[in-house]
Structure 1
Amino acid sequence: MSLCKDCVQGVRHEGEPQGTLETIDGVACYVATPTADYPKDKVILYLPDAFGIELINAKLLADDFAINGFKVVAVDYLNGDGLPADIMNVGFDRFLCVPSSDPVSTQSPSFDLKAWLAKHGNEQTRPSLDKVIAALKEEGVTKFGATGYCFGGRYTFDLAFENAIQCSVVSHPSLLKVPDDLETYFTKSQAPLLINSCEVDQMFPAAAQAKADEIFGDGKFAPGYKREYFPGCTHGFAVRGDVNDPLIKAGKEGSFKAAVEFFLEHL
């Protein structure tokens, strides 16, 4: 299991979160609820990137979905151990802990990303997600959408394989095996799929994007398939992109708009 440099770098966004931190069957969650009436039998699971639900960017996105009429539950499947936001601007060599002769290296923080990944595999993370889903079902939720970013794209696919969700949106997904996971999704899942892709993405590059279109496109996937493409954007744009860059701002806003429209149509 590995991540690319754009999985762990980005820009912290500004805003005042409107949701609440709640504990659902022992699992910390950020819950964003519409202020107007909304369907109580539907929930969007927000599956965060490696920075987890504590990153303000994640909370603001969850709030935006709630503004559009969906109750959102952002699940802390990283168990309180997401990457700290203050290392987003650290050089990637610091994450890999590569020895450096750079004189500033002793002044710069380092982070053992490989060790972190080893502690956040499926065995450690998936149980928290399953607990939240089971608890929400007991509260009367019967339809789940999932929006997964980077690290969360893996979990969106896994839930779709089991048909535990009824609609899938992934933005610059990581940790997928291509074409295996795409073929498994096509064979096993009944959840409509939206992929928000971009120009520069080591984790889901142009070849993977083309393979997804080949497998799902032209009406071949009966539940529904759509792929959006945002030029000038890099992996992470939908959640950690620099909105001062016009192309990245357009990509962030466009991918969110596409997600909302997809959920409105299919969930």
Structure 2
Amino acid sequence: MSCPDCFKGGVHEGTPSGITTRLHGLDTYVAEPASGRPPKGIIVVIPDAFGWEFVNIRLMADGYAKKQDYRVYAPDFMNGNSAPLYMLDSMKLVLAKGTWFDTLAKPYHIFWVLLAFAKWGIPNRFAKSFPIVQKFMENLRRNEGAHIPVGIAGFCWGGKHTLVIAGDFKADGKPLVDAAFTAHPSFLSLYDDIKKIRAPTSFGIGDLDSQVSPEQAEKIRDIIEAKPEAQKGEMRMYHGYGHGFACRVDAKNDDPRGAAEAEDQALAWFEKHFANVRY
């Protein structure tokens, strides 16, 4: 398994308040501004392995919509092939140091984790999933996003998709996104994915992240801060946090403040870079 940490964490408590609909060919969770005002912009959330139905992702979408009057989409970019939630519990048992019974039971849990990983990973490999993301974003920009800012926020699996979409992709002469945010992205091609970024992009990386080391994060910082002013990015290191902290923090056992701060980081970034967008 290439990223055990991609399947660790907890399920958050709460009831999503948005709706589900069919949008640009995909089932999509939609969160609207609570104020009833027209949205100031659109943010597309590309989730971690647990997909668009994961309650954590939907609650995050609600938070983005309510706090800053954005319309937020969380599409099913995995076409029904998201990872099963039982992997969160199985991974805990695989990695736990417990009794002799726990040790004897590990092969059973390892089998189910590997099976679920294969069933998730094969249909969601980047070469197959990225065209789905690209098509959705092109349709969005040509339609409801034609005259308002569009942002994208990606987590873990969705992080690489976010960074590639933030490159030199356009529809009707407009960039597909005006700003991007990613927390603990996975499966990156370092540093080519970073060098190709054109939209201003904000990164949130934990210094205990298994996918991007502190040294790699600092190299990313050097690259994005050296870009032209209109493309310049930012990097924030979250000390004491590992992979998945922004969307799968286990609030019962870990400090949830990093997740809240990452959400604030994303919203502040979008506010800053949406302010002067005119189409």
Q: Taking structure 2 as the reference length, what is the TM-score of the superposition? A: 0.83
Q: In the alignment, what sits opposite 1:222?
A: 229
Rounded to whole Å, the distance in 1 between the matches of 2:127 and 2:217 is 28
Amino acid at match of 2:210: Q
User: How far does residue 37 in structure 1 lie from its aligned partner after superposition?
Assistant: 4.4
| Paired residues of 2:180 and 2:200 also in contact (CA < 8 A) | yes
Give secondary structure in 1 for the equivalent of 2:182: strand
In the TM superposition, structure 1's runs of 4+ consecutive aligned residues that sit over 4 Å from their partners are 37-41, 92-95
Rounded to whole Å, the distance in 1 between the matches of 2:58 and 2:266 is 16
Give secondary structure in 1 for the equivalent of 2:45: strand
Rounded to whole Å, the distance in 1 between the matches of 2:219 and 2:271 is 26
User: How many residues were matched structurally?
Assistant: 255
User: How far does residue 106 in structure 1 lie from its aligned partner after superposition?
Assistant: 6.2
User: How far does residue 55 in structure 1 lie from its aligned partner after superposition?
Assistant: 0.8
Q: In the alignment, what sits opposite 2:46?
A: 47
Unaligned runs of 5+ in 1: 96-100
Q: In the alignment, what sits opposite 1:121?
A: 125
Rounded to whole Å, the distance in 1 between the matches of 2:271 and 2:238 is 21
Alignment of 1:242 with 2:246, yes or no, is: no
User: How far does residue 63 in structure 1 lie from its aligned partner after superposition?
Assistant: 0.3
Give secondary structure in 1 for the equivalent of 2:57: helix
Give secondary structure in 2 for the equivalent of 1:91: helix
Rounded to whole Å, the distance in 2 between the matches of 1:168 and 1:10 is 24
Give secondary structure in 2 for the equivalent of 1:54: coil
- Given candidates 206, 210, 216, the residue that maps to 2:214 is 206
Unaligned runs of 5+ in 2: 96-101, 170-174, 275-279
Cα offsets for 1:202-243 (capped at 9, x unmatched): 1111121110122122x6441232211211111000000122
Amino acid at match of 1:160: A
| Paired residues of 1:195 and 1:228 also in contact (CA < 8 A) | yes
How do 1:1-267 residues align onto structure 2 when only pairs under 5 Å count? 3-40=2-39, 42-68=41-67, 69-91=69-91, 102-105=103-106, 108=109, 110-111=112-113, 112=115, 113-142=117-146, 143-161=149-167, 162=169, 163-185=175-197, 189=198, 191-217=199-225, 220-223=227-230, 224-245=232-253, 248-267=255-274
Give secondary structure in 2 for the equivalent of 1:234: coil
| Paired residues of 2:56 and 2:248 also in contact (CA < 8 A) | yes
Amino acid at match of 2:54: L
Give secondary structure in 1 for the equivalent of 2:207: strand
Q: In the alignment, what sits opposite 2:172?
A: none
Percent identity, please: 26
Rounded to whole Å, the distance in 1 between the matches of 2:43 and 2:85 is 24
| Paired residues of 1:17 and 1:63 also in contact (CA < 8 A) | yes
Distance 1:51-1:199 versus aligned 2 partners, 3 A rule: same
Give secondary structure in 2 for the equivalent of 1:72: strand
Q: Taking structure 1 as the reference length, what is the TM-score of the superposition? A: 0.87
| Paired residues of 2:160 and 2:186 also in contact (CA < 8 A) | yes
Give secondary structure in 1 for the equivalent of 2:181: strand
Give secondary structure in 2 for the equivalent of 1:12: coil
Give secondary structure in 1 for the equivalent of 2:196: helix
Distance 1:159-1:174 versus aligned 2 partners, 3 A rule: same
| Paired residues of 1:24 and 1:135 also in contact (CA < 8 A) | no
- Pairwise CA RMSD: 2.4
